[in-house]
Amino acid sequence: MTAPRPFAFDNSYARDLEGLYVRWQAAHAPRPTPIRVNAALAGELGVSPEALMDEQGLAMLAGNVVPAGAEPLAQAYAGHQFGGFSPRLGDGRALLLGEVIDRQGQRRDIAFKGSGRTPFSRNGDGKCALGPALREYLMGEAMAAFGIPTTRALAVVATGDTVLRERPLPGVVLTRVAASHLRVGTFEYAATHLGAEGVRRLAGYTLARHYPELNGEPEPCLALLKALIDRQATLVARWMGVGFIHGVMNTDNMTLSGETIDYGPCAFMEAYDPATVFSSIDHHGRYAYGNQPSIAQWNLARFAETLLGLIDADENRAVERASAAIHDFVDVFEARWSEVFGAKLGLDGSGDAAADRALIEDFLGLLKARKLDFTLAFRALYDVAAGDAKAPQQLFTVDDTGWIEWRRRWMARQPQRSPALLAAMSHANPWLIPRNYRVEEALEAAVDRGDLAPFDRLLAALQAPSQVRSGFAMYATPAPAEITARYQTFCGT
Ligand code: AMP
Ligand code: MG
């Protein structure tokens, strides 16, 4: 078979970042069979979905044939996991195939997950099971539909291999598209193993790839730190706006692009409670819903440490300046959070910031005290704003004075809304989220019965999450509280 040429690869990472990868090949897949291909994303990349699922496409996406121009490599990175530092993590079950320029002119990574062991595999088998791959697919597409920056699944192909977890499971290769796979952990690896010169090279590469607007900054590394602080504050605020709990915010899972990556033990909150945590390994709630901003700040401090020598030649001054930037995260996050939740309340941003913030917090207080579903409660606010005064009746009793009083303040704050403000409010308050029990149902059908119909239906629903369509009402209903109370997620290994 001649090498397929579906993409015009241009591999800047391989070219510019020697020392931060190992060239490697995917394991052989005995019997590649198609599972799903993301037609919309293929379109963004300028490739036809059919070409990805014909014999050549399958052989490529299973890792059996290296397409022309690809330079598969395992990326090296380090990382703080649950607070402890691992100097050498890296792609243990992933490979970067190469980079392409999409139809918008954006450079994007095309990478495999589950393509076999690499020099970074440690004790892992390098494989990925069907369930976690489909989970990542669903979550990423939901996130994209919310308009939140995210890595996305391009395709899932069964390898014909069996993956041993608690039981034998079908093995797959997930093909992932990302603005890049640069992580805070990449900088930690460079700082640990390559020294100041390596970090400088990586910082220059990152600035050129993700922050071209900072070109010419007199202090590029400090500018990069501040820019990442803003991007990550924005990302976490937006996660929180849809009730998303990442679940494993280790520094190796925090991107330099500001995209969401690694949908392992993530989950969506149902009843509002900042202490919500679903991950089976997060015993102390380190990565609970409400802890995400402070964890992001902590991760950014680890990032700042890798840049110190480049921020100022004087160590004390470098620490002082980096610390000031990290300290500012709190204000940046607060501003971003207020923007996100202000949009959820349909506020136009012209009011008193402190009063608006109090209004948001008081609404969240009502939800918490009444254990109300986060998604439905905010959607009800949109319904009220759009003229359906009855919408909150399923949430608040008619004599709930807390709600009545809050509603009076809210109405007084913003009596009128333009069509544009209403549309933004609908987008900010989706009717649907990937509810945990619906996700599990869809994955169970796929894995246990080879039935992808529930996956397809849920995916179709999530692709337009703010559109109320009667056929998808089952996805808008919260899980029974006892199911949510028992719900646990696992790392996708
Ligand atoms: P993650 O939790 O997916 O972000 O992975 C953390 C680290 O563990 C990364 O270095 C992964 O490459 C590695 N890893 C996770 N699962 C496996 C696996 N099944 N085989 C090899 N390495 C793995
Ligand atoms: Mg990871």
Burial of residue 389, with CB atoms counted within 10 A of its CB: 0-12 exposed, 13-18 middle, 19 or more buried: exposed
Cβ-contact 113, 173 below 8 angstroms? yes
Q: What is the DSSP string of 19-32?
A: TSEEE--PPPPSS-
Let me know if residue 386 belongs to a domain: no
What is the C-alpha separation between 383 and 321, in angstroms, rounded? 46
As a 3-state breakdown, the chain gives helix, strand, coil percent values, each rounded to 5, of 50, 15, 35
Phi, psi values for residue 68, rounded to 5°: -55, 130
Boundary residue ending a domain (321, 342, 363): 342
Let me know if residue 433 belongs to a domain: no
Per-residue confidence (pLDDT) for residue 357, from 0 to 100: 97
Statement: residue 1 has pLDDT above 80: no
User: Are residues 151 and 235 part of one domain?
Assistant: no
Phi, psi values for residue 98, rounded to 5°: 165, -175
Per-residue confidence (pLDDT) for residue 492, from 0 to 100: 64
User: Are residues 146 and 195 part of one domain?
Assistant: no
Per-residue confidence (pLDDT) for residue 133, from 0 to 100: 98
Let me know if residue 114 belongs to a domain: yes
Residue-wise pLDDT for 411-436, tens only, equals: 999 999 999 999 999 999 999 999 99
User: Are residues 66 and 14 part of one domain?
Assistant: yes
User: Are residues 216 and 134 part of one domain?
Assistant: no
Nearest CA owner, ligand 1 atom 15:
493
Count structural domains, the chain: 2
Residue-wise pLDDT for 105-130, tens only, equals: 999 999 999 999 999 999 999 999 99
Q: Does ligand 1 have an atom closer than 6 angstroms to the CB of 247?
A: no
Q: Which two tokens stand for residue 329?
A: 């995260």
Boundary residue ending a domain (178, 208, 240): 178
Element (H, E) at 134: helix 130-146
What is the C-alpha separation between 368 and 374, in angstroms, rounded? 9
Nearest CA owner, ligand 1 atom 13:
92
Determine whether 448 is an active site residue. no
Cβ-contact 210, 178 below 8 angstroms? no
User: Are residues 129 and 109 part of one domain?
Assistant: yes
- Among 59-73, 129-143, 150-164, 476-490, name the one with the lowest average pLDDT: 476-490
Let me know if residue 357 belongs to a domain: no
Label residue 293 by pLDDT band (50, 70, 90).
Answer: very high
Q: Does ligand 1 have an atom closer than 6 angstroms to the CB of 114?
A: no
Statement: residue 370 has pLDDT above 90: yes
What is the C-alpha separation between 361 and 376, in angstroms, rounded? 17
* Cα-Cα end-to-end distance for the chain: 32
What is the C-alpha separation between 464 and 427, in angstroms, rounded? 10
Give the residue-averaged pLDDT of 30-54.
97
Let me know if residue 118 belongs to a domain: yes
User: Are residues 200 and 134 part of one domain?
Assistant: no
Domain residues for the domain of 16 are 2-178
**To 10 degrees, the CA torsion angle through 288, 381, 455, 437?**
50
Let me know if residue 319 belongs to a domain: yes
- β partners of residue 489: 279
Ligand whose nearest atom lies closest to the CA of 174: 1
User: Are residues 132 and 102 part of one domain?
Assistant: yes
Statement: residue 474 has pLDDT above 70: yes
Cβ-contact 98, 110 below 8 angstroms? yes
**To 10 degrees, the CA torsion angle through 24, 188, 260, 296?**
160
Give the residue-averaged pLDDT of 333-351.
96
**Whole-number mean pLDDT of the chain?**
97
Global pTM value: 0.98
Burial of residue 205, with CB atoms counted within 10 A of its CB: 0-12 exposed, 13-18 middle, 19 or more buried: buried
Burial of residue 439, with CB atoms counted within 10 A of its CB: 0-12 exposed, 13-18 middle, 19 or more buried: buried
User: Are residues 142 and 97 part of one domain?
Assistant: yes
User: Are residues 234 and 142 part of one domain?
Assistant: no
Cβ-contact 488, 279 below 8 angstroms? yes
Q: Which two tokens stand for residue 203?
A: 């910082």
Nearest CA owner, ligand 1 atom 12:
92
Cβ-contact 229, 332 below 8 angstroms? yes
Q: Does ligand 1 have an atom closer than 6 angstroms to the CB of 56?
A: no
H-type helices in 79-129, by residue range? none
Q: How far is the CA of 477 from the centre of ligand 2 (A)?
A: 31
Per-residue confidence (pLDDT) for residue 490, from 0 to 100: 86
Q: Which of 252, 262, 282, 312 is catalytic?
A: 252
Residue in 277, 225, 336, 259 with CA at minimum distance from that of residue 82: 277
Ligand whose nearest atom lies closest to the CA of 178: 2
Let me know if residue 477 belongs to a domain: no
Phi, psi values for residue 278, rounded to 5°: -120, -20
Q: How far is the CA of 439 from the centre of ligand 2 (A)?
A: 21
Label residue 58 by pLDDT band (50, 70, 90).
Answer: very high
**Nearest-5° angle of CA 81, CA 87, CA 89?**
65
- 157, amino acid identity: V
What is the C-alpha separation between 425 and 28, in angstroms, rounded? 49
User: Are residues 197 and 159 part of one domain?
Assistant: no
Ligand whose nearest atom lies closest to the CA of 113: 1
Greater confidence (341 vs 350) lies with 341
Q: Which two tokens stand for residue 57?
A: 């496409």
Per-residue confidence (pLDDT) for residue 3, from 0 to 100: 78
Per-residue confidence (pLDDT) for residue 491, from 0 to 100: 78
Give the residue-averaged pLDDT of 150-171.
97
Boundary residue ending a domain (148, 178, 208): 178
Q: At what angle do helices 220-241 and 315-344 cross, to 10 degrees?
A: 30
Residue-wise pLDDT for 322-334, tens only, equals: 999 999 999 999 9
Q: How far is the CA of 302 from the centre of ligand 1 (A)?
A: 20
Per-residue confidence (pLDDT) for residue 5, from 0 to 100: 85
Give the residue-averaged pLDDT of 264-282.
96
Statement: residue 4 has pLDDT above 90: no
Let me know if residue 97 belongs to a domain: yes
Statement: residue 193 has pLDDT above 70: yes
User: Are residues 105 and 204 part of one domain?
Assistant: no
Per-residue confidence (pLDDT) for residue 349, from 0 to 100: 87
Statement: residue 493 has pLDDT above 60: no
With H, G, I as helix, E, B as strand and everything else as coil, classify residue 403: helix
Q: How far is the CA of 474 from the centre of ligand 2 (A)?
A: 32
User: Are residues 305 and 250 part of one domain?
Assistant: yes
Q: Which two tokens stand for residue 147?
A: 């308009």
